[in-house]
Structure 1
Amino acid sequence: MKKWLLIAMALLVAGVLAACGAGETEEGTSAEAQEKETMTVTHELGETTFEKNPKKVVVFDFGVLDTMDKLGIEAAGVPQESLPAYLDKYADTEKYENVGTLKEADFEAINALKPDLIIISGRQADMYEEYAAIAPTVHIAVDTDNYMESFTGNMELIGEIFDKEEQVKEELSAITEQIEQVKETVSSSQAQALIVLANEGKVSAYGPSSRFGIIHDVFGVKAVDEGLEVSTHGQSISFEYILEKNPGMIFVVDRNAAVGNEASAKDSLENELVQKTDAYKDGKIVYLDPDYWYLSGGGLQSVSQMVTDVETAFKE
């Protein structure tokens, strides 16, 4: 009896080990298949197929970098010149590869990095083929004509790429709640606003559907001039124009500060003509943080801060 019992136990152990081995093989196969799962993204510049949850990612859009940072997703390479101050950890050359500037990529450095994915936006669009020749490249940018729809779609896409869908959903829900609050605050004001970009003593104006048109289109701030030209660089205006329109609020994006220029937008903008406007008299010239508004718009952190900036301006 003891002999048969020993044989039975041996067979049982062998069966268990075989089952475990099969399970490990199946798990290994499943894990391997999951690692190699691909996705195809159709974007403004074409169609790109790549492995999901890429590990080595080169990012040329600071709004996307802002979002990845918020979601805890590492980037392998970034253009380290003109980084927003709140993303300055990416200036560490020991941890992150410097891949050039926003307008002039270091293709040699990118190629040496052998990235799994490259993410670009408008500033790099003309060189799309050069990026795509190195690695799968996706163009992600905000459509200012449909800001929130575009922004939401971009965030959901990033969530899908990196398996962060639930976290993105939560962040977008929080931003939507913020926007509803700012719209309620804005709705009680009759102030008409003008958005300007200050650059070395010159000013350009932005209206609805423009680069900074989220202030009007999404937050509900009334525009002092509905007919402004819609363009990336804005409509060039004079200080006489500002006085003529006499806005109750002026939102200022200081490009000088964004690119490290020491020229003061405040000194050039708040001249004798502008001092005659209601905005100046009522202390409603609002200097927006260029890190969020000029360098990294369209990110989870930047859009949240943009909402806060406008709400604060109406509460002060």
Structure 2
Amino acid sequence: MKTKLTVLCLTICAASPALALDCADGQRAFTHAGGETCIPEQAQRIIGLHDQSVTLTLVELGAPVVGSHGRVDDDGQLYMRSVDLLFGLDFDSGQIGYAGTWDQMDFEAMVAMTPDLIIGREYDMETRDKFEAIAPTVFIADTPTGPMAFPREIADAAGVSDTYEAQLAIYEANLERARFALPHVQGATYSKIQGWDGKLEVYAGYGGLTKVLADLGFARGTVGQRMADRGVVWGEEVSAEILPELEADYLFDTYTIAYGDTLADPASRLNDAVPGWCDFLTACTEGRYIVLPREYATGFSFTQLNMLLQMITTNVATSGAPHG
């Protein structure tokens, strides 16, 4: 008898959806990096747990954002990186409330915002219990092989997928025009490098910049590709001895508007890391070292992607094609 009951149980379990959620009216099951969560069918009050990646996407797509992670500048002023630059929004306007910094979230302030949905990154799962005690929370994973999966999932959770797809169509049309203007970059190699605190850093991925370069037909240089093959999403500190291996048709670096950088600062930081670095890389000596604003280069908002297309097209067109 016990055996028959066991078989019957296994049969019923096999025929049932695994871990299927029974959500209340007005809610839907949403699968994310943290599992499956019942969220509003159409959220009305959303908190973004990262300004430059989550909140920026939400604002651009017209989602109802009531709060966001933020940062504190050297003068003690709060701001949302890239959100302020691209959309002119700050915490003083009253439209978006301050939810704390990445290492010190303000949970009491978040409760007061009465959100019906919180959207974060996979990284934020370390304190998921505290977020989930406030409102349904979803955690979006960063996928190196499909970078647009991140903003697309944010759009899905927020209920603004139609707007996302419309903006994607505009970007793809702009991309075709840029490809037409830059036929010589098909298969051209690039290295994304950076000097920081006297150290040399190389990047396998750099957010939106990596996507736009790939879309245009560029290919990672040897070191960056090796890192990507190992599953590195962003970058790593490397020895100055590998500088010759960073040789590529184009070099890309970034400066930070929020930190008061000038266009000359990135090259100066590289020189601190590897004195005379430019003399060892043909792309630099021949004028194909291109410096872009980090606020535009790292994110996946369509505003950033379209601006990157314009900036890369202009810089590459005026720098000349590699010899040979």
Aligned-pair distance for 1:119? 0.8
- 2:81 matches 1:83: yes
- Inter-partner Cα distance in structure 2 for 1:287 and 1:209: 13
SS of the residue 1:89 aligns to? coil
SS in 1 for 2:89: helix
Q: CA, structure 1 residues 235+109, in 2 after alignment: closer, same or farther (shift >3 Å)?
A: same
Distance in 2 (alpha carbons) for counterparts of 1:123 and 1:273: 35
Cα displacement string for residues 220-246 of structure 1 (whole angstroms, at most 9, x for unaligned residues): 212221323542451322444234432
Give the Cα–Cα distance (whole angstroms) in 2 for the partners of residues 233 and 172 of structure 1.
Answer: 24
Provide the C-alpha distance between the structure 1 equivalents of 2:57 and 2:246, rounded to a whole number of angstroms.
37
Cross-structure match for 1:206? 203
Superposed, which structure 2 residues align to 1:114-129 within 5 Å? Answer: 114-129=114-129
Do the aligned partners of residues 115 and 46 (structure 1) sit closer, same or farther apart at CA in structure 2, a change above 3 Å counting? same
User: CA, structure 1 residues 127+293, in 2 after alignment: closer, same or farther (shift >3 Å)?
Assistant: farther
1:268 aligns with 2:269: yes
Structure 1 unaligned regions, length at least 5 = 1-35
Deviation for aligned residue 1:152:
6.5
Farther-moved stretch of structure 1 (109-118 vs 225-234): 225-234
Name the CA distance, whole Å, in 1 between partners of 2:163 and 2:313: 25
Residue 153 of structure 2 aligns with an amino acid whose one-letter code is N
Q: Distance in 2 between matches of 1:276 and 1:49?
A: 55
* Contact kept? 2:270, 2:277, Cα under 8 Å: no
| Residue in structure 1 matched with residue 140 of structure 2 by the alignment | 140
CA distance in 1, matches of 2:26, 2:63: 18
C-alpha separation in 2, matches of 1:135 and 1:118 = 6
**Structure 1 residues 300 and 50: alpha-carbon distance in aligned structure 2, compared to 1, 3 A threshold:** same
Relative to structure 1, is the Cα distance of residues 118 and 146 closer, same or farther in structure 2, using a 3 angstrom cutoff? same
Structure 2, unpaired ranges of 5+:
1-24, 72-79, 319-324
Normalising to structure 1: TM-score of the pair? Answer: 0.74
Asked whether the equivalents of residues 195 and 207 of structure 1 are also in contact (C-alpha less than 8 Å), the reply is yes
Residues 62-115 of structure 1 show CA distances to partners (whole Å, capped at 9, x for unaligned) of 233223222333311112315222244133263322110133311121122221
Decide whether the 8 Å contact of 2:208 with 2:297 is kept in 1. Answer: no
SS class of match (1:146):
coil
Q: Specify the SS of the correspondent of 1:95.
A: coil
Aligned to 2:171: 175
In 2, Cα distance between equivalents of 1:180 and 1:100? 40
Instruction: Look up the match of 2:153.
Output: 154
Amino acid at match of 1:199: W
Q: Based on CA coordinates, which of the two structures has the bigger radius of gyration?
A: 1
Determine the structure 1 residue equivalent to 2:103. 103
- Equivalent of 1:315 in 314, 317, 320: 317
3-state SS of 1:92 partner:
helix
| Of 66, 69, 73, the match for 2:59 | 69
Q: Distance in 2 between matches of 1:303 and 1:313?
A: 15
* CA shift for structure 1 position 151: 4.5
Which whole-Å CA distance do the structure 1 matches of 2:91 and 2:205 have between them? 35
Q: Which has the higher helix share?
A: 1
Amino acid at match of 2:58: M
